[in-house]
A and B are shown apart, each in its own frame.
Chain A
């Protein structure tokens, strides 16, 4: 009889690390520190909800193709949902960002939480920008022909050609959303891992 192999597997190691970092009660908590009691905390989850609406409405448009919404009332409605979802996404995200700034939310080994959030904000801008470029209307023409100068001046335009519709469409529907979701997913897991930053000590205002 062959004795059972006790060597840890890669899978076992990953599971062990994941369980130690994010046990179920930390991943899906049913209590929060008492200080988490302000409307400012709502804007994080509102940003996630708006991202969900943007992804779903974008997926619906993708089902029928990028030109669908120009000739269909239903398609135009979903484009409108996509646009307003994006506007709300940025509005919520900016309030969330400023809120976290004024809470100095990077304290206590939470710098990476701030960094992933800030990078997600910047990548989201690029994602929205490529959306404007792929509308196939006057907006796309004007934004593309104007934006090329900035991108060319920075050297980026030689590789990221805003006038190449096919390239921009794939960046918009595949590459950038993937990165945004990855960053935001990591950001949320870091929040769960480190917890919500506690209040600043009172009387700490002097530089």
Chain B
């Protein structure tokens, strides 16, 4: 039995004709805007917002010259993470993550932001200092005119030797690696001066808005990751939803981040592709909940609605 105006089983398909109450939508909107404005202002004044300075390539070259040189050598001999990345950057056979089996959207889309790592990060930038450095110019010319196999032997030999020696950061030891020590020494000096930061974003146009090359080069080394690790931003540290300092980050990415912490994704070479596929399916499911049998019935089984509408049900159930 229900009270007039409070039907126990209201039909959601027909317009409500039961009991009503006064409501002022404009007043509600104004109060909400004022309240939220005051709250955000208070939070901004109390807690401010983080703004950690960006890492520069100059800073990297000064603070971690060994890592810088190892990265540059790997870009030169084509063994770096980026040089072997695959689409959308490089034409590396077989590279690219698979969603399942051999299905790869990454390979399907192909190389759309092509990057020749040796040229982009070493050879082209060195064209700047060689104008005032005949020795460096001769080294670069010698390298450019050497057969590809010889270039590879020099660069790989230099990269291997770096792994076993400590670089002072001001000079690069020679040792049977052709002109590579001279070239990378020049690149290190250029980086420490800040000129490489500028060279990696410059194009034939004056205005620049694309930092793809500079960021990819930074990300290929270990220095950026070391700085991120100190701020608890690594993927293994739930970094995607963390913020620099003690600030709340993108907490809404908790589910996306969660997958990276659990097997098999935590150890999978295809984790990104697989997790994106899972999140795409879950996102679609969220949007289509009204049409998914079972899921759309969960609200009926969980009596939270009884709490939300408790006043209505009390009135509807009370005797007239």
Any B CB within 8 A of the CB of A122: yes
Q: Cβ of A204: which chain B residues have Cβ within 8 Å of it?
A: 300
* Chain B nearest CB, measured from A184 CB (Å): 13
CB within 8 Å of B: which A132-153 residues: 132, 135-147, 149-150, 152-153
Closest to B33 in A: A49
Query: How far, in angstroms, from A164 to B32 measured CA to CA in the complex?
Result: 37
* Chain B nearest CB, measured from A60 CB (Å): 12
**Are B48 and A33 neighbours in the complex by a CB distance under 8 Å?**
no
| Bitwise interface map of A from 81 to 120 toward B, beta carbon under 8 Å scored 1, else 0 | 1111101101000100001011110111111001100110
* Chain B nearest CB, measured from A139 CB (Å): 5
Q: Cβ of B240: which chain A residues have Cβ within 8 Å of it?
A: 143, 146-147
Q: Cβ of B216: which chain A residues have Cβ within 8 Å of it?
A: 145, 163
* Chain B nearest CB, measured from A113 CB (Å): 9
Query: How far, in angstroms, from A101 to B302 measured CA to CA in the complex?
Result: 11
Partner of A111, one of B20, B49, B291, B309: B291
Partner of B304, one of A102, A106, A128, A154: A102
Any A CB within 8 A of the CB of B297: yes
CB within 8 Å of A: which B1-31 residues: 5-6, 8-16, 18-26, 28-29
* Chain A nearest CB, measured from B7 CB (Å): 8
**Are B40 and A85 neighbours in the complex by a CB distance under 8 Å?**
yes
* Chain A nearest CB, measured from B249 CB (Å): 8
Query: How far, in angstroms, from A37 to B97 measured CA to CA in the complex?
Result: 51
* Listed stretches A2-10, A11-19, A172-180, A193-201; interface member: A193-201
**Are A53 and B209 neighbours in the complex by a CB distance under 8 Å?**
no
Q: A138-B244, A200-B300 are in contact. Are A150 and B50 (CB under 8 A)?
A: no
Query: How far, in angstroms, from A166 to B32 measured CA to CA in the complex?
Result: 34
Q: A33-B16, A34-B18 are in contact. Are A49 and B297 (CB under 8 A)?
A: no
* Size of A's binding interface in residues, CB under 8 A: 96
Query: How far, in angstroms, from A143 to B50 measured CA to CA in the complex?
Result: 14
Q: A90-B252, A153-B106, A158-B87 are in contact. Are A31 and B25 (CB under 8 A)?
A: no
Query: How far, in angstroms, from A130 to B313 measured CA to CA in the complex?
Result: 45
Q: A30-B23, A50-B36, A102-B299 are in contact. Are A138 and B308 (CB under 8 A)?
A: no
**Are B25 and A30 neighbours in the complex by a CB distance under 8 Å?**
yes
Any A CB within 8 A of the CB of B138: no
Any B CB within 8 A of the CB of A171: no
Interface residues on B, range: 35 or more
* Listed stretches B52-60, B66-74, B160-168, B185-193; interface member: B52-60
Query: How far, in angstroms, from A30 to B39 measured CA to CA in the complex?
Result: 27
**Are B106 and A155 neighbours in the complex by a CB distance under 8 Å?**
yes
**Are B40 and A99 neighbours in the complex by a CB distance under 8 Å?**
no
Q: A35-B309, A108-B13 are in contact. Are A137 and B215 (CB under 8 A)?
A: no
Query: How far, in angstroms, from A170 to B238 measured CA to CA in the complex?
Result: 28
Closest to A35 in B: B312
Any B CB within 8 A of the CB of A157: yes
Q: Cβ of A157: which chain B residues have Cβ within 8 Å of it?
A: 88
Any A CB within 8 A of the CB of B303: yes
* Listed stretches B122-130, B149-157, B173-181, B267-275; interface member: B267-275
Closest to A100 in B: B299
**Are A150 and B55 neighbours in the complex by a CB distance under 8 Å?**
no
Q: Cβ of B272: which chain A residues have Cβ within 8 Å of it?
A: 149-150, 152-154
Q: A46-B36, A152-B87, A155-B105 are in contact. Are A106 and B52 (CB under 8 A)?
A: no
**Are B112 and A153 neighbours in the complex by a CB distance under 8 Å?**
no
Query: How far, in angstroms, from A115 to B243 measured CA to CA in the complex?
Result: 30
Partner of A80, one of B44, B210, B228: B44
Any B CB within 8 A of the CB of A169: yes
Any B CB within 8 A of the CB of A62: no
**Are A30 and B290 neighbours in the complex by a CB distance under 8 Å?**
no
Q: A49-B35, A142-B233, A161-B113 are in contact. List 6 more A-B contacts (CB 8 A).
A: A77-B44, A80-B49, A90-B251, A129-B250, A153-B273, A159-B112
Interface residues of B (CB under 8 A from A): 5-6, 8-16, 18-26, 28-29, 32-33, 35-37, 39-41, 43-45, 47-55, 87-88, 96-97, 105-106, 108-110, 112-113, 209-212, 215-216, 218-219, 224, 227-228, 231, 233, 235, 239-240, 243-244, 247-248, 250-253, 270, 272-273, 275-277, 280, 283, 286-291, 296-306, 308-309, 311-313, 315-317
Interface residues of A (CB under 8 A from B): 28-38, 40, 42, 45-46, 48-50, 52-53, 57, 69-70, 76-77, 79-85, 87-88, 90, 94, 99, 101-104, 106-111, 114-115, 118-119, 121-122, 125, 128-129, 132, 135-147, 149-150, 152-155, 157-159, 161, 163-167, 169, 195, 197-202, 204-205, 207
Q: Nearest 4 A-B pairs (CB), nearest first?
A: A166-B209, A108-B12, A155-B105, A80-B44
